[in-house]
């Protein structure tokens, strides 16, 4: 990494830190602010000494910066849970409705909320021996401060089909377009979410319409 | 970052495991008017879906395989076939077995195997006549065929046994069928040879 790019990384961290401070101002998040300032003004300057033997042997300053940024992410976030129903809309003609769950962490950035999550959904058909599972990771954007917020998510998906003892599995790509209705109650956020969830293996596209009820908690 | 994304997409595209295609597609396009023309080295065979018929108070499709009709019922969990075994005695026909049997278990999943049977008997002129029809099926695999997508190969063994007081009549037919997503039958193999799809029309 060149000195220029390293400096730009610092500036990104500093800028995001300022933004983080402004976002949580007035939200009784003094603990987070103190933790952030401690990390920002103690650990980060130490990491600038990239010639330290310890750093050379083990983690580089760059990887520690990434870890530190992840830590910043973890101490300034909200977590949430969603659950709901999916109904086949494109393809999957023989599937019944399925259930879907997801867990996520959410972090506010300058103009939107970035959401990283893991999700699973399960579908069945009239043949009770058959089951179709999806497991996925997703990254998404929404605007939690708005009452009505569009939401977009995408990420890789692992699909598993099972009929009796026979199984098939494979990977796909998932994307979600939808609408959230945010209701805030102190640190809690409740929202119904209506969406179209598409899934593709780049050969075939299929999708579901769904509704979930979510709850998030801002630390 | 952009390079990583492109690499990820290329790797993903190269996987050739079209799980969504197999899970979401319809492999059995039984709609009136659909047809498939298959050809072997020596002969051609036309498979056509004819008008809906009602048998045992159940609506089913009449699918003509080279002029021989099969009455098929498509349900979410199986393709069932109408079976009727008749025994002629003294110039009169007696129905021994009449029912639908599971021909192919749905959804198609590689490695799945199934069997179903129909058994019944009838007392004719002082003697019992027993008949049994059973199907043993299995999905022997799928392969990605250019232009068709992931094609499943299904092996089906049909066995008909009629037990008379003095003899047992057994008739066995083995067929191998291959089905493509949103197309239907693309290959058919029996004692007469191997037939491959040369033309089709599905709605």
Mean pLDDT of B88-93: 89
Q: Listing from the earlier edge strand, what are the strands of the sheet with B78-89?
A: B92-105, B78-89, B68-75, B58-65, B44-55, B35-39, B193-201, B184-190, B168-180, B149-163, B127-145, B113-124
Residue A179 domain boundaries? 78-218
Closest listed residue to residue B137, CA positions, set B117, B114, B116, B158: B114
Q: Are residues A71 and A142 part of one domain?
A: no
Tokens of B146: 């250019």
Query: Does the distance separating the beta carbons of B181 and A204 come in below 8 Å?
Result: yes
Closest listed residue to residue B25, CA positions, set A174, A205, A123, A126: A205
Looking at the DSSP bridge assignments, the partners of residue A80 are A104, A216
Query: Does the distance separating the beta carbons of A166 and B111 come in below 8 Å?
Result: yes
Domain boundary (A75, A98, A122) is at A75
Query: Does the distance separating the beta carbons of B149 and A126 come in below 8 Å?
Result: no
> In this predicted model, which residue has the larger pLDDT, B184 or A72?
B184
Of the candidates A90, A94, A200, the beta carbon closest to that of B107 is on: A94
Domain count, chain A: 2
Query: Does the distance separating the beta carbons of B25 and A91 come in below 8 Å?
Result: yes
* Chain A hits for B151, Cβ within 8 Å: none
Domain boundary (A13, A48, A75) is at A75
**Contact in structure between B109 and A161 (CB atoms under 8 Å):** yes
Q: Are residues A210 and A173 part of one domain?
A: yes
Query: Does the distance separating the beta carbons of A166 and B110 come in below 8 Å?
Result: yes
**Contact in structure between A174 and A159 (CB atoms under 8 Å):** no
Question: What is the predicted ipTM?
Answer: 0.80
Which pLDDT score, from 0 to 100, does residue B122 have? 93
Q: Are residues A98 and A26 part of one domain?
A: no
Query: What does the alpha-carbon distance between residue A100 and residue B119 come to, in Å, rounded to a whole number?
Result: 43
Query: What does the alpha-carbon distance between residue B169 and residue A28 come to, in Å, rounded to a whole number?
Result: 87
Burial class, A57, CB count within 10 angstroms (exposed 0-12 / middle 13-18 / buried 19+): exposed
- Residue % of chain B over a pLDDT of 70: 92
Query: What does the alpha-carbon distance between residue B151 and residue A11 come to, in Å, rounded to a whole number?
Result: 54
| Element (DSSP H or E) covering residue A77 | none
Which pLDDT score, from 0 to 100, does residue A203 have? 84
Q: Are residues A37 and A21 part of one domain?
A: yes
Query: What does the alpha-carbon distance between residue B14 and residue A165 come to, in Å, rounded to a whole number?
Result: 28
A173 touches chain B (CB under 8 A): yes
> In this predicted model, which residue has the larger pLDDT, A188 or A4?
A188
Cα angle at B59 between B54 and B65, to 5 degrees? 80
Q: Are residues A140 and A61 part of one domain?
A: no
Q: Are residues A113 and A53 part of one domain?
A: no
Mean pLDDT of B8-26: 73
pLDDT interval class at A11 (50, 70, 90): very low
A200 touches chain B (CB under 8 A): yes
Q: Which of A36-40, B46-50, B96-100, B112-116 has the lowest mean pLDDT?
A: A36-40
Which pLDDT score, from 0 to 100, does residue B146 have? 79
Q: What is the DSSP letter of A91?
A: S
Assess whether pLDDT exceeds 80 at residue A148: yes
Q: Are residues A207 and A118 part of one domain?
A: yes
Question: Within 10 Å of residue A207's Cβ, how many Cβ atoms?
Answer: 23
Which pLDDT score, from 0 to 100, does residue A107 have? 84
- Residue % of chain B over a pLDDT of 90: 68
Query: Does the distance separating the beta carbons of B24 and A204 come in below 8 Å?
Result: yes
Tell me the shortest Cα–Cα distance from B66 to chain A, in angstroms. Answer: 29
Residue B18, SS3 per DSSP = coil
Tokens of B181: 């997503």
Taking CA atoms, B30 is separated from A110, A163, B76, B186, B201, in Å, by 54, 23, 13, 14, 11
Q: Are residues A111 and A56 part of one domain?
A: no
A8 touches chain B (CB under 8 A): no
Domain boundary (A32, A51, A75) is at A75
Of the candidates B20, B26, B149, the beta carbon closest to that of A200 is on: B20
Q: Of the spans A2-16, A22-36, B5-19, B140-154, which averages the highest pLDDT?
A: B140-154
Query: What does the alpha-carbon distance between residue A81 and residue A104 come to, in Å, rounded to a whole number?
Result: 6
Closest listed residue to residue B65, CA positions, set B161, B177, B141: B177
Q: Are residues A83 and A66 part of one domain?
A: no
- Residue % of chain A over a pLDDT of 70: 68
Taking CA atoms, B50 is separated from A33, B31, B63, B82, in Å, by 74, 8, 6, 15
CATH code for the domain of A126: 2.40.160.20
Tokens of A85: 């129903």
Query: Does the distance separating the beta carbons of B25 and A172 come in below 8 Å?
Result: no
Q: Are residues A200 and A101 part of one domain?
A: yes
> In this predicted model, which residue has the larger pLDDT, B155 or A203?
B155
Per DSSP bridges, beta strands B35-39 and B168-180 are unpaired
Assess whether pLDDT exceeds 60 at residue A17: no
Query: What does the alpha-carbon distance between residue A11 and residue A128 come to, in Å, rounded to a whole number?
Result: 56
Tell me the shortest Cα–Cα distance from B140 to chain A, in angstroms. Answer: 11
* Chain A hits for B107, Cβ within 8 Å: 94, 125, 127, 130, 161, 163
Q: Which of A188-197, B2-11, B74-83, B118-127 has the lowest mean pLDDT?
A: B2-11
How confident is the model over B41-81, as pLDDT tens digits? 888 999 999 999 899 999 999 999 888 999 999 988 899 99
Q: Are residues A209 and A170 part of one domain?
A: yes
pLDDT interval class at B83 (50, 70, 90): very high
Q: Are residues A86 and A188 part of one domain?
A: yes
Of the candidates B22, B76, B78, the beta carbon closest to that of A168 is on: B22
Which spans in chain B are helix H?
2-14, 19-24
How confident is the model over A86-101, as pLDDT tens digits? 999 998 888 888 999 9
């Amino acid at each position: 990494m060149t000195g220029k790019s390293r400096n730009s990384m610092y500036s990104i961290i500093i800028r995001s830190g300022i933004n983080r401070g402004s976002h949580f101002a007035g939200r009784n998040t003094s603990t987070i602010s103190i933790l952030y300032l401690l990390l920002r003004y103690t650990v980060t300057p130490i990491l600038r000494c990239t010639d330290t033997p310890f750093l050379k042997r083990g983690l580089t300053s760059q990887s520690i910066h990434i870890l530190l940024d992840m830590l910043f992410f973890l101490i300034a976030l909200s977590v949430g849970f969603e659950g709901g129903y999916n109904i086949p809309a494109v393809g999957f003609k023989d599937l019944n409705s399925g259930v879907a769950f997801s867990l996520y962490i959410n972090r506010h950035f300058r103009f939107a909320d970035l959401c990283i999550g893991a999700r699973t959904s399960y579908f069945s058909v009239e043949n009770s021996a058959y089951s179709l599972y999806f497991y996925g990771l997703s990254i998404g954007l929404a605007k939690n401060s708005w009452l009505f917020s569009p939401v977009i998510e995408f990420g890789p998906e692992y699909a598993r089909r099972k009929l009796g003892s026979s199984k098939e599995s494979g990977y796909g790509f998932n994307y979600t377009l939808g609408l959230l209705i945010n209701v805030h109650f102190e640190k809690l956020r409740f929202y119904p979410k209506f969406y179209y969830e598409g899934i593709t293996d780049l050969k075939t596209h299929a999708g579901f319409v769904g509704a979930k009820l979510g709850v998030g908690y801002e630390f | 970052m952009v390079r990583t994304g492109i690499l990820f997409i290329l790797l993903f595209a190269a996987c050739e495991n079209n799980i969504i295609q197999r899970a979401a597609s319809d492999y059995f396009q039984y709609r009136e008017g659909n047809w498939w023309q298959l050809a072997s080295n020596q002969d051609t065979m036309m498979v056509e879906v004819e008008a809906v018929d009602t048998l045992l108070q159940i609506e089913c499709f009449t699918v003509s395989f080279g002029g021989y009709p099969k009455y098929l019922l498509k349900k979410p969990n199986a393709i069932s076939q109408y079976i009727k075994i008749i025994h002629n005695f003294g110039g009169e026909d007696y129905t021994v077995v009449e029912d639908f049997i599971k021909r192919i278990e749905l959804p198609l999943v590689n490695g799945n195997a199934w069997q179903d049977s129909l058994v019944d008997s009838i007392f004719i002129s002082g003697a019992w006549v027993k008949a049994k029809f059973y199907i043993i099926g299995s999905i022997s695999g799928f392969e990605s065929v250019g232009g068709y997508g992931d094609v499943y190969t299904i092996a089906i063994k049909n066995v008909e046994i009629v037990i008379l007081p003095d003899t047992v009549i057994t008739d066995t037919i083995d067929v191998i069928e291959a089905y493509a997503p949103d197309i239907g039958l693309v290959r058919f193999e029996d004692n007469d040879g191997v037939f491959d799809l040369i033309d089709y029309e599905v709605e």
